[in-house]
């Protein structure tokens, strides 16, 4: 394969790679991301000096509370929250 502007000895002796490098990971080192998150569903909305959205975890752990200073902010019904350790 001829590269414009380069002679064949230049390619062979330069030590430059002409292909993109690719890194491989062993399968044993990969984390299982499906076990890191769970579904949190809206349990209660409090609108006292702002908005507090209280969510119940799928695994029945501690509730998740998301606060905002604006009392007009709606709460989403559910989201993927981090699983408790």
Asked, for residue 48, whether it belongs to a domain, the answer is yes
Q: Domain span at residue 37?
A: 32-71
Distance, CA of 77 to CA of 70 (rounded, Å):
18
Apex 70 CA angle, 75 and 41, nearest 5: 15
Asked, for residue 15, whether it belongs to a domain, the answer is no
More confident residue, 36 or 1: 36
Structural domain total, the chain: 1
* pLDDT bracket for residue 19 (50, 70, 90): confident
Residue whose token pair is 């044993």:
28
**Tens digits of residue pLDDT in 38-58:** 999 999 999 999 999 999 999
Mean pLDDT of 72-82: 94
More confident residue, 29 or 61: 61
Asked, for residue 83, whether it belongs to a domain, the answer is no
Asked, for residue 20, whether it belongs to a domain, the answer is no
Q: Which residues of 56-85 are buried (b: 16+ CB within 10 A; e: fewer)?
A: bbeeeeeebebeeeeeeeebeeeeebeeee
């Amino acid at each position: 394969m001829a590269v414009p502007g380069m002679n064949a000895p230049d390619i062979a002796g330069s030590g430059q790679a002409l292909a993109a490098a690719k890194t491989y990971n062993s399968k044993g080192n990969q984390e299982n991301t499906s076990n890191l998150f769970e579904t949190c569903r809206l349990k209660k909305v409090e609108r006292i000096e702002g908005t507090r959205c209280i969510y119940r975890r799928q695994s029945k752990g501690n509730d998740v509370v998301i606060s905002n200073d604006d009392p007009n902010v709606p709460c989403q019904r559910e989201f993927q929250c981090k699983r408790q350790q």
